[in-house]
Amino acid sequence: MSDTNSLGFETRMIHAGAAPDPATGARQTPIYQTTSFVFKDAAQAARLFSLQEVGNIYSRLTNPTVSALQERCASLEGGVGAVATSSGHAAQILALFPLMSPGKNIVAADKLYGGSINQFSNAFKRFGWEVKFVDTDDLDAVKAAIDDDTRSLFCESLANPGGIVTDIEGWAAVASGAGLPLIVDNTMATAALCRPIEHGATIVVNSTTKFLSGNGTSIGGVVIDSGNFDWSASGKFPSLSEPAPEYNGIKFHEALGPMAFTFFGIAVGLRDLGAAQTPQNAFYTLLGMETLSLRMQRHSENAMQVAQHLENHAAVDYVSYAGLPSSPYNSAAKKYLPNGAGAVFTVGLKGGYDAGVSLVDNLELFSHLANIGDARSLVIHSASTTHSQLSDEEKTSAGAGPEVVRLSIGLENAEDLIADLDQALAKSA
Ligand X SMILES: *Cc1c(COP(=O)(O)O)cnc(C)c1O
Closest separation in Å from C-beta 161 to ligand X? 9
Please tell me whether residue 198 adopts helix, strand or coil conformation.
helix
In the bound state with ligand X, the residue whose beta carbon lies nearer, of 296 and 424, is 296
Q: How far apart are CA 240 and CA 235, in angstroms?
A: 9
Among 56, 70, 116, 358, binds ligand X (CB under 6 A): 116
Query: x/- contact string, 131-150, with ligand X (CB under 6 A)?
Result: --------------------
| Nearest residue (beta carbon) to ligand X | 88
Q: What is the 3-state secondary structure (H, E, C) of 155-197?
A: EECEECCCCEECCHHHHHHHHHHCCCCEEEECCCCHHHHCCHH
Closest separation in Å from C-beta 252 to ligand X? 26
Closest separation in Å from C-beta 399 to ligand X? 12
Q: Is 382 in the site for ligand X (CB under 6 A)?
A: no
Among 77, 130, 167, 185, binds ligand X (CB under 6 A): 185
In the bound state with ligand X, the residue whose beta carbon lies nearer, of 129 and 247, is 129
Q: Is 156 in the site for ligand X (CB under 6 A)?
A: yes
In the bound state with ligand X, the residue whose beta carbon lies nearer, of 160 and 327, is 160
Q: Is 87 in the site for ligand X (CB under 6 A)?
A: yes
In the bound state with ligand X, the residue whose beta carbon lies nearer, of 113 and 263, is 113
In the bound state with ligand X, the residue whose beta carbon lies nearer, of 64 and 88, is 88
Backbone phi and psi for residue 237, each to the nearest 5 degrees, phi listed first? -125, 65
Among 64, 78, 79, 221, binds ligand X (CB under 6 A): 221
In the bound state with ligand X, the residue whose beta carbon lies nearer, of 87 and 320, is 87
Contact segment (CB under 6 A) with ligand X among 18-26, 113-121, 242-250, 261-269 equals 113-121
Contact segment (CB under 6 A) with ligand X among 86-94, 102-110, 247-255, 390-398 equals 86-94
Footprint on residues 260-299 left by ligand X (CB under 6 A): none
In the bound state with ligand X, the residue whose beta carbon lies nearer, of 223 and 316, is 223
Among 59, 157, 160, 239, binds ligand X (CB under 6 A): 160
Footprint on residues 352-381 left by ligand X (CB under 6 A): 372
Query: x/- contact string, 13-42, with ligand X (CB under 6 A)?
Result: ------------------------------
Q: How far apart are CA 21 and CA 26, in angstroms?
A: 5
Q: How many residues bind ligand X (CB under 6 A)?
A: 17
In the bound state with ligand X, the residue whose beta carbon lies nearer, of 4 and 119, is 119
In the bound state with ligand X, the residue whose beta carbon lies nearer, of 180 and 372, is 372
Peptide bond into 258 cis (omega under 30): no
Q: What is the 3-state secondary structure (H, E, C) of the chain?
A: CCCHHHCCHHHHHHHCCCCCCCCCCCCCCCCCCCCECCCCCHHHHHHHHCCCCCCCCECCCCCHHHHHHHHHHHHHHCCCEEEEECCHHHHHHHHHCCCCCCCCEEEEECCCCHHHHHHHHHHHHHCCCEEEEECCCCHHHHHHHCCCCEEEEEEECEECCCCEECCHHHHHHHHHHCCCCEEEECCCCHHHHCCHHHHCCCEEEEECCCCCCCCCCCCCEEEEECCCCCCCCCCCCHHHHCEEHHHCCEEHHHHHHHHHHHHHHHHHHHHHHCCECCHHHHHHHHHHHCCHHHHHHHHHHHHHHHHHHHHCCCCEEEEECCCCCCCCCHHHHHHHCCCCCCCEEEEEECCHHHHHHHHHHHCCCCEECCCCCCCCCEEEEHHHCCCCCCCHHHHHHCCCCCCEEEEECCCCCHHHHHHHHHHHHHHHC
Closest separation in Å from C-beta 324 to ligand X? 21
Among 97, 113, 120, 124, binds ligand X (CB under 6 A): 113
In the bound state with ligand X, the residue whose beta carbon lies nearer, of 65 and 218, is 218
Q: Is 161 in the site for ligand X (CB under 6 A)?
A: no
Chain positions contacting ligand X, by CB under 6 A? 87-89, 113, 115-116, 156, 160, 185, 187-188, 207, 209-210, 219, 221, 372
